[in-house]
Structure 1
Amino acid sequence: MRPLNLALGWTRRDRKMPFARIANQALRQTLPRAVCTGMGTAFILAALAVLGGDALTDFALALLIGLAVAPTPRCSPSHRWPSTSQAPH
């Protein structure tokens, strides 16, 4: 088994990169995959809702509602990250 840094493709120069740049790179690599997965799931569930029988339609609609509602709290502008400056003493 390879070490984690080699498995992820990290090099020595990446260790000296600022955290913001590493986080930005990780987000740019992850977000398109997440969007494609969500769209593919929504397409398949919509097809099941339209073309499925009575039981599949209800099940697919429930999953579509969950797919639409689940990411909402994490993407909400009212969500605040914990501040590092307010650490307990």
Structure 2
Amino acid sequence: MPITVVIEFRARPGRREELRSVLAGISATHGPSAPGYLGSSIHDTLDDEAGLVEIATWESAAAQAEAVQRAMTTGIYAPVIELVAEPFRALRLG
């Protein structure tokens, strides 16, 4: 059963567009090769000029969890960690 993952990011001051670019690059480069990845989009938050929200769709929670584990092991998310002001929040729907 497909799931949706909503991830809220807060960029360091003045770095939101750079964070958006890095997130888009990761999705474009690594998303299509991740088993179970169905796509994602990135949106501005309405109440915080440093905020971004990524909404991703996956074939299953197991596929998403596996992809995150693989990405953490290989360091794919390292540039994201450098650009965020605080830990991101994630919500899995479905």
TM-score, with structure 1 as normaliser: 0.28
The structure whose residues are more often helix, as a share, is: 1
The structure whose residues are more often strand, as a share, is: 2
**Structure possessing the higher relative contact order (Cα contacts under 8 Å, 6 or more residues apart):** 2
| Higher Cα radius of gyration | 1
